Amino acid sequence: MIFTTTSGRYYSSICMTAHPKVDVKTGETFAYRYNITRPFLTIFRIDPEGRKQKDVHVHSLKGCTIIHDFSVTENFCVFVDTQIVVNPLSVLRPPVGVDRAKVPRVGVIGKYAEDDSGMWWMEAPGLNMFHSVNAWEEEGGGGTTIVAVVSNALRVEELFESIGLAQLRLEKITIDVNSHTVHRQPLSTKFLDFGVINPAYAARKNRNTVLRSIYNRSMEKS
């Protein structure tokens, strides 16, 4: 991907997520990258003219986590700090693995934040998000709520072997912006992922999603 900075310089080699989010309302693109050294997570956006804006480093992430995807709403970005971690100094074990002792967290930061001082994290045991289908905001009597629909790997260690073994199930994540609490609700008993929506509804509430059924015959023996 080639874009320019606000100073007019071209960049073509900077690493970034494979799942950037485009806000069809503003024409902006929101993206991030993770690294094996500090800062482990960096968020940035690209304006409609292709100019990359300043990096926002997330210092509250204490180690390198494989963050494959994220969610974006009208005003927020949502990340999941999963159990898939990277230890570049590992000698006796592969550098990428699953930390079963780690409790996954959901992190929320403003889309236009200048730094990570306003970001907050909430523990979400067992949540190892693989893909985000969509996310949006809802207003109610208690204030703003963020709703995200994501796929969760119930057997996260199997992602290294086969997606069909990871038992990816669809979940609805609801975040109360005022109380900083998170609630999770399973949406299907089937193994589903790779959701596709009408891009006009990205970051806005939608009703219909096309998903792929993830099936592996070897699961019949387990």
- Binding positions for Fe cation are 19, 68, 131
3-state DSSP: the chain helix, strand, coil percent, rounded to 5? 5, 45, 45
Q: What is the DSSP string of 110-178?
A: ETT-SSSTT-EEEE-TT--EEEEEEEEEEEETTEEEEEEEEEEETTGGGGGT-GGGS-EEEEEEEEETT
Among 152, 194, 145, 190, which Cα is nearest to 171's? 152
Let me know: does 147 contact 124? Beta carbons within 8 Å.
no
Known binding residues are: 19, 68, 131
Question: What pairs with residue 210 in β-bridges?
Answer: 196
Whether the bond into 39 is cis, omega within 30 of 0: yes
Among positive and negative, which fits the CA dihedral 170, 97, 34, 109? Answer: positive
Q: Provide CB contacts within 8 A for 152, sequence distance 6+.
A: 126, 127, 128, 129, 130, 168, 169, 170, 171
